Amino acid sequence: MKIAVTGLGLMSAAGQNETVTLDNFNAGQRHAGPVSLFPSEIQAPVFEVKNFARNYFPARLRTLNLCLAALEEALQNAGLEKALRGKRIGVAMGTTIGSILNDFEFYRKYHEKGSAPMDAVNAYLQGNLASAIHAFLGTDGPSMTVVNACASSTDAIGIAMSWMKSGLCDIALAGGADEMSRIPLCGFNSLGILSRTLSAPFDRDRNGLNLGEGAAVLVLENEDSVQKRGATTRALIRGYGTCNDAYHLTSPDPQGAGLINAITRALGEAELPPPEITFINAHGTGTQDNDAVEGLVLSRLFGPKIKFLSTKGYTGHTLGAAGGLEACFSILALENGWIPASAGFQNQDAGIPLAPVRERTTIQGRFALSTSLGFGGCNAALLIERPKKTGLGL
Amino acid sequence: MKPLFIAGIGIVCARGRGLDQFEKALQEGWVAPTPSKEGRLAYRIADADLMDRHALKDVRRADRFGRLTVLAAHDALSDNGVGPETVRPATGIIVATAFGSHATTFKFLDGVIDYGEGNVSPTTFAHSIHNSAASYIAGAIGCQGPTVTVTSFSFSFQQALLLAYVWLQEGRVQQVLVGVSEECSTPMEYICAQKLSMAADGKMNPLSCLDQPKVVLGEGSVFFLVTLDEGQKKYGAFSEIRIGKEVQGWADVDLSILSAHGMGGSEKIYESVVKKEAPAAAYSGIYGGMLTSGAFECAAAALMLKHQVRYASPVFQAGSPFKVDEKAVRAPLQAIQCVAHHCDGKRAFIKMVSSC
Amino acid sequence: MSLDKETELTAIRKKLKELLVSNLAFLDDLNPADIKDDEVLFGEGLGLDSLDAVEIVVVLQRHFGLQVKDMKEGRAIFYSIDTLSRYIYDNTPRI
């Protein structure tokens, strides 16, 4: 069964729609700054979605609001704005912050006094992404909020595909969201992997990640649904692989066993050999460990000349949204025939056998791979195809 | 749906670790929950039940949530007769939870408040990410298959079970460890005391279909090792899963177990999803109220189908519209349905059968 | 070594051992007094790993007011209870 992407919506510091995002990619513009969404002593550049004020739910549910903004854009793009009410669809969304009861003001009051008002808790109980989307759209069907750390939305997309191939739904909405939050800011800082300068994925002098926030939603449909609706296929998701390292809680397996497995499975499902891959949107966080492992694996599987990049130089690390955003960026790249410079990269690391693209680069093939690695040894990969001809049907 | 055979079960709850302890608890019935320092009653797991040098040897730093999850998953594998020493690339792991490792999140926030943003514990941060427990399972059993953690306040387990089935159907894996984990914490007990009707006498009333059911919070973990291979069947099978607004259960089951955990608002809905006078049971009085208690109900059903006995529901339910056993009854049992509802009007039904 | 310095180092070692046991996860209930002064922290000794290393950085910050600016520098400092204690001693301001 072919799984088509018929619409997408994205929100990140790189842009709140496709046009602005592509403009920033083209110009190599990186919109980072100090944390402004909450008071913090930590002085590190972050990638916030500026001037975002679309509150479908209370403003404190920022992750959900970002997700719904991306959802609306995706549905408009797919021509499905009002068409889903009462229908059976799948909703699979990835997040980390969006699933945790971590409202700082609530907890500070409780910590001090042993009591606190319940507003934050009531909001939290409304904020499960997949459940809230079903409620928002008035739909029923498979529902899953995936919390697989930084691989969450890639796994959400993969799960949605599995549902569709099993016949549980003909249409699914998949992606993820995460807001700028004190917990990962302090947490990554305590791990020593939060950079105090703009991140430099795969660079010799890289010293950590920048935190970001964002959301991405893809509308997935099977062939029947595409044909019945006369929908436009923007891309096909041909393969998905997901594997655990079973190695360490916060460090990836230095040999990349899980990542090799995940990529191999995605290629296998698509029945495509490595040389067919035009480019790779790597996870590329800018940390010593991630980029070393990922570089090693990509070089081993695809050779040192494979075109690849990390887009986290434009968005920061958006955690649960990362995989979804990067799938969208891969689709945009295949449609437009170019990938942006891997922002932040200047000098090749002698220990990494390949280097990402240093400038905007034309691409000519039809297949992209997007990889995600997460805490807890999660590894996930998606294989994306630009259809031979766009327009109606597959 | 093809039958999803149950090849092993592992469980940890306030009544102890292991299926034997769980079955003993089902036979014994209700025992009083324990009070916290603040005087709040809950069914909490004893610390001694979370110590196991062998099972936890590769996961020494796991927080409490991680430990209870790993132990239940480990036990589900050993129940199948295979120890964790065997590498299992063809095993998937799905952990479902409603609230995740909130005790650790609160501990992390304590660190921010007490020591400042720059002095927080990185290990506590890592544990506050919901999927750390699943990662510990993978490490403990040496499993490099697909591993996913999912969260929802409604039907987290039922959706996870559905995903396990989908993974097996598509051949992504040969077997899946699928289960749930929830924990208690002082802040969460405070929150529940504000929002719910706590049972001052420690007795829940899940079969009374009340608008304001009483709750005693619980914690625990249950894992099922499931497969499409009938040769591995040990406890019968999940034969059907239905989730949604319009779905119905089955009239031809021998027993309906209600997932009436007292945390989802009015439980009057059960009067309309299970026939009046039909045999019904509810066991939340054994393990406490948890949004993912569906898995515990399924564990109870699996045991009953295996041993062909209907266990009495703990605590007599005066005025229940259903036929409720006051004592255990040995009777032929072919099918049990586990019924759950959510305050948004959706419901979930899982049918379990002793043979297919 | 002066008596004062040795006394202080002994006190630091004791506090450090207690903090390591209470902040790092040891499955065996390790008695701080059973940890040798020259116990190697990583690898073959106590068997700590990279996550423990950053946890120790936080212990130094919280309980001794010390920053480890560069984790590469950290390797030598974190070698054993002794080297870590001496680092703490050397970097603690004295009146």
**Proportion of chain B above pLDDT 90, given as a percent:** 89
Q: Which two tokens stand for residue A233?
A: 């296929």
Structure-model confidence comparison of residues B45 and B317, the more confident one: B45
Q: Which of B102, B120, B146 sits opposite A101 (nearest CB)?
A: B102
Question: Domain for residue A321, yes or no?
Answer: yes
Q: Is this prediction's pTM over 0.95? A: yes
Among left, alpha and beta (phi > 0; psi -120 to 50; other), residue A355 is beta
Q: Tens digit of pLDDT for each residue in A235-287?
A: 999 999 999 998 888 888 999 999 999 999 999 999 999 999 999 999 999 99
**Proportion of chain A above pLDDT 70, given as a percent:** 99
Which range marks the domain in which residue A239 is found? 3-385
Determine which one of A67, A134, A243, A317 is catalytic: A317
Q: DSSP 3-state assignment of B121?
A: coil
| The predicted structure's pLDDT at residue B36 | 96
Chain A CB contacts of B172 under 8 Å are: 162
Q: How far is CA A47 from CA A99, A142, A286, in A?
A: 21, 32, 14
Q: Which of B53, B56, B121 sits opposite C58 (nearest CB)?
A: B121
Helix (H) or strand (E) holding C16: helix C3-23
* Rounded CA separation B46/B43 (Å): 9
Which range marks the domain in which residue C70 is found? 3-28+37-91
pLDDT bucket at C73, cuts 50 / 70 / 90: confident
Question: What CATH number should be reported for the domain holding residue B300?
Answer: 3.40.47.10
Question: Domain for residue A393, yes or no?
Answer: no
Alpha helices, DSSP H only, in chain A?
Answer: 18-27, 62-78, 104-113, 119-126, 129-137, 152-165, 182-190, 223-229, 257-270, 288-302, 312-315, 322-336
Residue A150: active-site member = yes
Question: Domain for residue B258, yes or no?
Answer: yes
Q: Tens digit of pLDDT for each residue in A134-163?
A: 999 999 999 999 999 999 999 999 999 999
| The predicted structure's pLDDT at residue A2 | 92
Q: Which of C23, C52, C54 to mutate to test binding with chain A, by most A CBs within 10 Å of its CB?
A: C54
Inter-chain touch C49–A190, beta carbons under 8 Å: no
Inter-chain touch C55–B119, beta carbons under 8 Å: no
Asked if the interface predicted TM-score (ipTM) of this complex is over 0.85, the answer is yes
Q: Of the candidates B196, B264, B114, which has an alpha carbon nearest to the alpha carbon of residue A118? A: B196
Q: Tens digit of pLDDT for each residue in B144-193?
A: 999 999 999 999 999 999 999 999 999 999 999 999 999 999 999 999 99
Which range marks the domain in which residue B115 is found? 4-351
- Phi then psi for A279, rounded to 5 degrees? -155, 165
- In this structure, the strands spanning B335-341 and B255-258 are parallel
Number of domains in chain C: 1
- In this structure, the strands spanning B41-43 and B34-35 are antiparallel
- Phi then psi for A367, rounded to 5 degrees? -125, 130
Chain C CB contacts of A287 under 8 Å are: none
pLDDT bucket at B1, cuts 50 / 70 / 90: very high
Number of domains in chain A: 1
Calculate mean pLDDT across residues A205-214. 98
For residues B339 and B249, is the Cβ–Cβ distance under 8 A?
Answer: yes
Q: Which of B151, B154, B190 sits opposite A99 (nearest CB)?
A: B151
Q: Which two tokens stand for residue C6?
A: 């040795």
* Rounded CA separation A54/A43 (Å): 27
Question: Domain for residue B356, yes or no?
Answer: no
Inter-chain touch A375–B150, beta carbons under 8 Å: no
pLDDT bucket at B356, cuts 50 / 70 / 90: confident
For residue C95, pLDDT over 80 is answered with no
Calculate mean pLDDT across residues B82-111. 87
Chain C CB contacts of B53 under 8 Å are: 27-28
The full 3-state SS of B299-324, as one line of letters, equals HHHHHHHHHCEECCCCCCCCCCCCEC
Q: What is the CA radius of gyration of chain C?
A: 13
Q: Which of C57, C58, C69 to mutate to test binding with chain B, by most B CBs within 10 Å of its CB?
A: C58
For residue A291, pLDDT over 60 is answered with yes
Calculate mean pLDDT across residues A306-328. 98
Residues 6+ apart with CB under 8 A from B213: B197, B204, B205, B206, B260, B262, B266, B267
Number of domains in chain B: 1
For residue A392, pLDDT over 50 is answered with no
Determine which one of A150, A243, A328, A378 is catalytic: A150
Calculate mean pLDDT across residues B299-324. 93
Q: Tens digit of pLDDT for each residue in A319-347?
A: 999 999 999 999 999 999 999 999 999 99
- In this structure, the strands spanning B175-182 and B91-97 are parallel
Residues in chain B: 356
| The predicted structure's pLDDT at residue A251 | 87
| The predicted structure's pLDDT at residue B120 | 95
| The predicted structure's pLDDT at residue B57 | 84
Inter-chain touch A244–B93, beta carbons under 8 Å: yes
Question: What CATH number should be reported for the domain holding residue C57?
Answer: 1.10.1200.10
C75 min Cα distance to partner chain A (Å):
14
| The predicted structure's pLDDT at residue A39 | 96
Separation of CA B223 from chain center: 8
| The predicted structure's pLDDT at residue A393 | 44
Q: Which two tokens stand for residue A118?
A: 């319940």
- The amino acid that residue A87 corresponds to is K
Question: What CATH number should be reported for the domain holding residue A58?
Answer: 3.40.47.10
Q: Which of A42, A140, A163 sits opposite B245 (nearest CB)?
A: A140
Residue A248: active-site member = no
Dihedral (CA of B86, B88, B92, B98) sign: positive
Chain A CB contacts of B99 under 8 Å are: 101
Alpha helices, DSSP H only, in chain B?
Answer: 19-28, 64-79, 102-115, 122-128, 132-141, 156-169, 186-195, 270-273, 284-287, 294-307
pLDDT bucket at A113, cuts 50 / 70 / 90: very high
Residues 6+ apart with CB under 8 A from B260: B204, B206, B207, B213, B267, B270, B282, B284
- In this structure, the strands spanning B237-244 and B335-341 are unpaired
* Rounded CA separation B156/B179 (Å): 10
Q: Tens digit of pLDDT for each residue in B7-60?
A: 999 999 999 999 999 999 999 999 999 999 999 999 999 999 999 988 998 888
Average model confidence (pLDDT) for chain B?
Answer: 94
* Rounded CA separation B252/A235 (Å): 46
* Rounded CA separation B189/A110 (Å): 12
Q: Please name the residue of chain C whose CA is at the shortest distance from the CA of residue A207.
A: C70
Question: Domain for residue B70, yes or no?
Answer: yes
C70 in contact with chain B, both atoms CB, cutoff 8 A: no
Question: Domain for residue B128, yes or no?
Answer: yes
For residue A11, pLDDT over 80 is answered with yes
Inter-chain touch A251–C71, beta carbons under 8 Å: no
Residue A134: active-site member = no
Question: Domain for residue A317, yes or no?
Answer: yes
**Proportion of chain B above pLDDT 70, given as a percent:** 98
Question: Domain for residue A159, yes or no?
Answer: yes
Inter-chain touch C58–B56, beta carbons under 8 Å: no
* Rounded CA separation B167/A220 (Å): 19
Q: Of the candidates B123, B138, B16, B122, which has an alpha carbon nearest to the alpha carbon of residue B77? A: B138
Helices and strands per DSSP (H, E), number in chain C: 4, 0
For residue A28, pLDDT over 90 is answered with yes
Question: Domain for residue A189, yes or no?
Answer: yes
Calculate mean pLDDT across residues A83-97. 96
Inter-chain touch A187–B245, beta carbons under 8 Å: no
Q: Which of C55, C57, C59, C71 to mutate to test binding with chain B, by most B CBs within 10 Å of its CB?
A: C55
Calculate mean pLDDT across residues A282-304. 97
For residue A222, pLDDT over 80 is answered with yes
If you ran DSSP here, which 8-state letter would residue A1 be given? -
